[in-house]
Structure 1
Amino acid sequence: MQSLQDALYNWLTIKVVCDVRPDDKAAVETRDFFEEILTAQHSVSNIETTKDDLMYYISYQQGEEIKKRRYPRELIEIMINQINQEPEKYKDYPID
């Protein structure tokens, strides 16, 4: 079982990629995989994200409780930054 902290981090990192590349089938499938972990293993629902100059903020419901987490932008955006710096290494696999 993946920890909730890791699942949220992984989900947010790939969500940022999906936001920039919404037609990338591999990214969308990966995001969906982490959403399934969040819902099935950790009973997370109603996820909302915001960001400012330094941080991403996640608010979510776990059972009856509303919880919040925050992550530094530089950590969350590392994957999309890498894709943008070397796009030839990261082919966009379109959704059929």
Structure 2
Amino acid sequence: MQHGTRANYLAGKCRCEPCTLANRTYARDYFREGKARSTPSWPIYQHLLALLDSGWTLQEIADRSGYTYATVHAIAGGRRRRVRNTTATDLLSLRAREVAA
């Protein structure tokens, strides 16, 4: 593998200065461009509490969102610091007026 590349840093386990710099540059640019795969769970946690206050149950939230009860329970219980962007989008799309009858 070629030195000074992120591939060598990852696959080759090289920690020389050029490879480390290539990895650091990639990571910095990746997050700067908003490509992070996860987001802080606080807004989702607050949204789940609002849904619960409006009559939803954790099981209804899980069923409607397509996630497991365990995942929803962990977020609603404050045990997840970060959640995947797709999970956040799916859970935030649920609205209080959609309470299952």
Normalising by structure 1, report the TM-score: 0.32
Q: Which has the larger radius of gyration?
A: 2
Q: Which has the higher helix share?
A: 2
Normalising by structure 2, report the TM-score: 0.30
Q: Which has the higher strand share?
A: 1
